[in-house]
Amino acid sequence: MTFTGQHLIDGAWSGADTGRAEAEVEGLSVAQATEAEIDAVARAARRDFRAVAATPASTRVALLDAIAEEIDARGDAITATGVAETGLPEARVVGERGRTTGQLRMFAELIRDPGYLGNRHDPALPDRQPLPRPDLKLTKHPLGPVVVFGASNFPLAFSTAGGDTASALAAGCPVIVKGHPAHPGTTELVAQAIAAAVVRVGMPPATFQMVHGAAPAVGAGLVTHPEVAAVGFTGSLGAGRALFDLCAARPVPIPFYGELGSINPVFCLPAALAARAEAIGQGWVASLTMGAGQFCTNPGVILGIAGPDFDRMAAAAAEALAGAGAQTMLTPRICEAYGAGVAALRDRLEVLGETGPVAEGRAGRPIAFRTDGASFLVTPELHHEVFGAAGIVVACADADQMLAVAEALEGQLTATLQLDMPDDTQIAQRLMPVLTERAGRILCNGFPTGVEVAPAMMHGGPYPASTDSRATSVGTMAIDRWLRPVCYQSVPDALLGT
């Protein structure tokens, strides 16, 4: 389990020593995928696609379980490497490792039951008048080779063996992972675990492949290769939109499932503020600062109606922020971008309690700002995510202005209502239709950080939160992204393998 910085191509580790580049982690260098290597992984994945797609569900169950076991067997090394590369606390990485293996086993359990395919059968009605009905059978088939882009903020659960990879393998699609330069060592150790599982189960060698490459040309080359059938992405709006546009501009466009983040607004309704303003302010800061604010569900904006109760909430938030220290961020580059984003907010807004230097080296300190609803409405720049623990407290003039702010929001992963029933019922009922249009997940009396991995979870939302509001990257419904429905009309069972 030594780090080589090489690619995994068609079952073999390779990558020239020339052309290597420094990773975002100091002291590590990785091979940079060439055009020839990108072509090789894509062609190998296409070559093995039909064999992978034809494997019985029981074999794919065995593969997913084997990957989880191989990750567990390398657990200490993966954890130590993940902590060293990302600066995340050991407990967080251990928990995320458990989530990763849990996802793999969840999809293994899902495909044990063929119901995941959504099979439908309309038997023939030869005597129906005025016209007979033919026999119709519908099932779903794997799309083809899938490219997965690892995320910087989840080096395990949204990376090499994360939800995109697990769901695509469960569906029967070969996977090509584009490793993230922020954690190349973690990427490679997990790729070694998957490669061992592929051999152990006897799957084709190109069932899983991985390439390194920080240059934009590597990602572009993968998503535009004609043998690639779909893409899964978790990352920034800018990078995601660029790749999405490349997928759409191909001679044969392909689906791009991008999760691009959001500001995840929290709406504090009057009765809730009257009853527990301080607790709401403290809870918001705890969620805002979790993981140095580097979650895609980070609640970047909290809103309420101006008045004494709102001021109590804001004061409690300011006090909590004053006691929150700096945290190590994922990379120096991410911390630098956080500092730039905070500086732009500082030029526009009042600081809600000064907290000292915000970004130094790799350490990010949380900060919040205050504005009013009218200013928020006319300043679109405030509606954009700052990746890190930076938040905005918005004092709305009244319920109508709060509703106007909700209407003005872009698509979100989440929206939260802090409410006390029945007193907040009327305003909540006005907000719910708007938030249902704007967000993929709506919470009441909680905070959005922490995404339960469960069948009913929706982790996606209207653009720009994600590129397809019908798709989720968390939960069992994620498998539907990699499956294509096919109807068979009057086709003999012998041709269907039934």
Q: Quick check: 41 pLDDT over 60?
A: yes
| Residue 192: pLDDT band with limits 50, 70, 90 | very high
Question: What pLDDT does residue 214 have?
Answer: 87
Cβ of 299: how many Cβ atoms within 10 Å? 26
DSSP code of residue 382: G
**For 210-258, how does the pLDDT look when each residue is reduced to its tens digit (9 = 90+)?**
999 988 999 999 999 999 999 999 999 999 999 999 999 999 999 999 9
Return d(Cα 241, Cα 2) in angstroms, integer: 35
Catalytic residue of the set 259, 268, 335, 396: 259
Mean pLDDT across the chain: 95
Instruction: Give the per-residue pLDDT at 159.
Output: 96
Residue 355 has pLDDT above 90, yes or no: no
pLDDT score of 181 more than 70: yes
For 69-119, the pLDDT digits (tens) are: 999 999 999 999 999 999 999 999 999 999 999 999 999 999 999 999 999
Residues 233-246 pLDDT 10s: 999 999 999 999 99
Cβ–Cβ < 8 Å for 314, 370: yes
296 belongs to the catalytic site:
yes
Confidence of residue 17 (pLDDT cuts 50, 70, 90): low
Q: What pLDDT digit, counting tens, does each position of 333-349 carry?
A: 999 999 999 999 999 99
pLDDT at 354 over 90: no
Cis peptide before 253 (omega within 30 of 0): no
Q: Is 223 left (phi over 0), alpha (psi -120 to 50) or beta?
A: alpha
259 included as an active-site residue: yes
